[in-house]
Amino acid sequence: MKETIGIVGAGITGLATAYVLSSKYTITIIARDLPGDLGTSWASPWAGAVFHPQIKASIAQQNMQIACFKFYWDLAHQDPSSGVKIYPMTEYFDDRTDDLDIWYKTLMPDYRIIPRSELPKGVSMGLNYTAIAMNPLLLLPWLKRKLEERGVNFVRKEIKKLDGARKITQANILINASGVGAKELASDDAVRPVRGQTMFVKTDFNQLFMREGSEYTYVIPRAGSGGVIMGGIKSDRLDTEVDLELKGDILRRVNHMTNGAFEGLNLSSVTDIVGFRPGRTTGLRVEREGDIIHAYGVEGAGYIYSFGVAERVGELIERAGAK
């Protein structure tokens, strides 16, 4: 008989963990929000969802990202209905002039440094490579369907304590993938919501663009949607009101980065998106505490780490034994 695992949270981390573990364990996912829900109280449906490697990462974190990339790369080739698709990436920096500390130069296909003569004003270094973007509105329901086919049980319920999840799931091991909810469920004062505001724009533009350093700007195509997500911003604000001035600033930055690809865009025609990333001031937490494994705190990089985090959770279960 398989050991029973309970997972708290049905965001990308919880779903990825269930997907990786479901061949070995009987799994129940308990969550307030489930794939298909579009409330702003959870982050996963609203993410830009691009596999954009994080430069500042420990070796363990790099390995998680590599595992995640390999999963998405295979999925993009095997099942386009998942909403995972391959795109050309242009990545710009204004805080570095070389790629000496960019560890993913050997990971990302077609990697090359852009000649300085081709860089936009204010950019000190640029990269091209082949990357992957996901449409969460397709991928999350796709994962739920696949998990249900594997016998994973979903329970919609908001819990206030992890003991409540243990009683409902009757699990030997609980995995806390509750995102911002971990502030209460794990009594972790380092957890905080990080506000993001983006725009969905109808267009046939099909390239990834990122800029980092003094600003954080991106254009991310969403497979199957006929458009892109534009951003971005990180803020400590906790309201969901759309900042109209920020919309114009995002468009200005995007046009500078893309050589005016969206000149003339009518901002009243876009769909505004405000969401809250599951941040943690001390960074990603993937560790075991008795019969609980914590997996949260990845902020805006959930789609970059999720399946790698899942593999790490599996290692923690096996290392100590499920019981």
Structure tokens at 127: 């990269």
Q: Is the pLDDT of residue 323 over 50?
A: no
Task: Give the predicted TM-score (pTM) of the model.
Answer: 0.94
Q: How far is the C-alpha of 318 from the C-alpha of 60, rounded, in Å?
A: 17
Q: How far is the C-alpha of 302 from the C-alpha of 281, rounded, in Å?
A: 15
Alpha helices in 22-161 (DSSP H): 59-78, 136-149
Q: How far is the C-alpha of 106 from the C-alpha of 259, rounded, in Å?
A: 28
Tens digit of each residue's pLDDT (9 = 90 or more) over 223-237: 999 999 999 877 777
Q: How far is the C-alpha of 169 from the C-alpha of 159, rounded, in Å?
A: 12
The confidence score (pLDDT) of residue 280 equals 95
On whether the CB atoms of residues 139 and 46 are closer than 8 A, the answer is no
Mean pLDDT, rounded, of the chain: 94
Looking at the chain, the whole-number percentage of residues with pLDDT higher than 90 is 88
Question: For residue 232, is the peptide bond before it cis, meaning its omega torsion is within 30 degrees of 0?
Answer: yes
Structure tokens at 176: 């806390």
On whether the CB atoms of residues 298 and 307 are closer than 8 A, the answer is no
Tens digit of each residue's pLDDT (9 = 90 or more) over 11-51: 999 999 999 999 999 999 999 999 999 888 888 998 889 99
Task: Please choose, from the candidates 129, 58, 134, 102, the residue with its C-alpha nearest in 3D space to the C-alpha of residue 307.
Answer: 134
Q: How far is the C-alpha of 225 from the C-alpha of 43, rounded, in Å?
A: 19
Going by pLDDT thresholds of 50, 70 and 90, the confidence category of residue 109 is very high
User: Going from the N-terminus, what domains does the chain have, and what CATH number goes with each?
Assistant: 4-320 (3.30.9.10)
Tens digit of each residue's pLDDT (9 = 90 or more) over 258-288: 999 999 999 999 999 998 889 999 999 999 9
DSSP 274: E
